A and B are shown apart, each in its own frame.
Chain A
Amino acid sequence: MVASKEPSVLLSHLHRADGSATFSQNGYTVIGAVNGPIEVPRRHELPEEAVIEVLVRPAAGVGGTRERHLESILHSTLRQIILVHNFPRHLIQVTLQITNTPENKNTGSKVVQAGSHLAILPALLQTAVLALLSASMPLATILTSVSIAIHADGKSRKLITHPSLKEFESASSVHIMAFTSHGEPLVVESQGTFTLEDWEEVFETVKALCHAEHNRIDDNAMQGVDGKGNMLEFVKSAMGEKVAQDLHWHT
């Protein structure tokens, strides 16, 4: 089964959480729930800003070192976009439950492959942001995230946006980047073998995909760039639809 590269989202569907979102893309599905600002245990309390707790739960089994690594990336990222100084001595809890991962062809081996644990990072980041938006958490900016795989064999070089797990694993290098809505790079995770020129090309491609610069969208010379793939547009339209739904009684 080929997973859809088009993102889809379900907003505010968990009734007990302050905010929630279920995001699917590329065969990954993540449920995100945000609670906060709530009381924080005394020993974790920060006097000048809110404590952010990120919990990543895998689809099967209990979390291990891989999840801790993802949590630490998410934590440092979310701390930059949530206005933490607005909620001193509070806790903002972000729980991300992975419910679906793409099928792995290498049966009989480990459930999650080394290195490819990064493939889920865009889905986790996107879910966290959508859940935070659903919780009406004051944010400095929102972020959008895209993964790109470079397949290079000596001469030719191919950039694949939103690669499937197979493409991700066989790529010569993989890049996961997240940009703020102002077009600033917030997260970069690049792995494999590449040159600075490759990286800069990926940087510009992802920037165009994440950030709605209208002149870029028309430029078809850059591969994979069109209005459809723009993640910021997706978040905006998803939120817009949700607000319209919530206000249907108004008209």
Chain B
Amino acid sequence: MAAWVERKQSLVYGSDDWLPRKLVLVRAGGTCPAPFQRPTKKQKASVAATASSSTRALNFTLHITSHHGIKSQSPSPMASTTPQSALSFPRETFAKLSPHPYLRAHLQPTSATATPTRANGRSPSQFRTPHINNGSLTHADGSAVVRIGDTTVVCGIRGEILLTSKVPGWRADKAAAEPSSGAGYNEIKELDLLVPNIELATGCSPAFMPVIPPSTLAQDLSTKIYSLLHSTNLLDREDLRIWYQPPDLSDPDRMDDDSEDDEETSASEIKAFWALYIDILFISLDGNPFDAAWAAVMSALKNVRLPKAYWDPDREMILCDDSVDKSKKLSLNGLPVAITALVFKAKEQAQSKDKKYWILVDPDTFEESLCDESVTVVVDCSEKKTRILSITKSGGTIVGREEMKDIVKLAEQRSTELSSILNG
């Protein structure tokens, strides 16, 4: 099969600049002059292809007159009228039959002045425009809908109360004294106060079948969101604490109380925590799920309003105040923005000597299926100096120091664009 791919490229496409001309052909009214005219014996080249991913065999014969002839043509629209270019498919068919050469032909500039453009019309470093809508879910404490191209994510955050009496091994003195007590101790992490969950809805992409357990992708994304929420120290733990300040016991009515009891209860203590359940649902997925999911989480966290909760000593339970005025927003530590870029290599084979490549940011599903190496960078530009919060890369060896510098620069640009939407 691998041998076939090589042969197919050399026979049918011949030169690397075949495709844009084909596109000209199609754009010029879809005329395909004598597409399957009977060729002469020496001009004939036939290729039998098998659809690679399905078990259904698909045989087709391609006739080309002479690929040398195609090569020598001038790239003018006039080429469409010459009978030499008998091989002519609509671009959708080309994209399906040989996706890799299709994308490569788009990226390889045909002339010195032309800039590489991806199959979706964007330049390699161009992002899709984000659209964010906050607070559309009424029953959640905070929510956001993020749409980036055809990737749409809904994120809803709901706060639930975790009583310290329910925490196994909880000791009041542990956290009551100082927030900084216990070096390295982080209760948000220890008590699992942030619970992200990602669901890829059935029908959001043709790849997802109904009634199957969460896909590897969904589990992978949940883990990434989870570890990023913690490693960035995004939330202030004071926001998630529910304190109880016992009434002033020097009050004359209660002077008859035990003096020992006074000292014990006069210090305020944490009675409960807010646990945030962050549910992320993909309505539609067209590539780059992580960036969209993270933007949705950030936007929803900014949207969260937790009601004022207090400990009622008489009823011995936590009550929440109804009034909106007393509810509080979360104070977030910075505004991290994630960007993902893929490396598209000129040669399909994973271990190939041809080192030509393009870095494509914000990829769609079609591009994701053609690239192995992916880089995700999370930056926070809310302060003067850019903080990098995470760099993840796997699946290839192309991106080194210099390439990473460029990607971080792109991330900074994207961050300014996205944070204006997130803040505004």
A interface residues (Cβ-Cβ under 8 A, vs B): 42, 47-49, 64-66, 68-69, 71-73, 76-77, 79-80, 83-85, 88, 106, 108-110, 113-115, 117-118, 140, 166, 169-170, 180, 182, 184-196, 199-200, 203
Contact = CB atoms under 8 A, between A and B. Distances in A.
Interface in B367-424: 372, 374-375, 385-397, 399-401, 404-405, 408
Chain A interface helix/strand/loop/mixed: mixed
A240 B349 CA distance: 31
A200 B401 contact: yes
A88 B388 contact: no
Contacts of B219: 64-65, 68-69
B16 interface: no
A76 B350 CA distance: 11
Nearest to A187: B394
A115 B227 contact: yes
Contacts of A77: 394-395
Contacts of A76: 372, 374, 394-395
A45 to B, nearest CB: 9
Given A72-B220, A196-B405, 10 more contacts: A66-B223, A76-B372, A185-B400, A189-B393, A190-B392, A195-B385, A195-B387, A195-B388, A196-B404, A200-B401
Contacts, number: 132
B133 interface: no
Interface residues of B, number: 52
Interface in B317-352: 349-351
Contacts of B349: 85
B230 A114 contact: yes
20 contacts: A47-B52, A68-B219, A69-B224, A72-B216, A79-B372, A79-B395, A80-B395, A83-B351, A113-B189, A114-B189, A114-B230, A117-B223, A118-B227, A184-B397, A186-B397, A190-B388, A191-B231, A192-B231, A196-B405, A203-B401
A185 B397 contact: yes
A48 B374 CA distance: 22
B364 to A, nearest CB: 19
B407 to A, nearest CB: 10
Interface string B172-194: 00000000000111000110100
Nearest to B228: A191
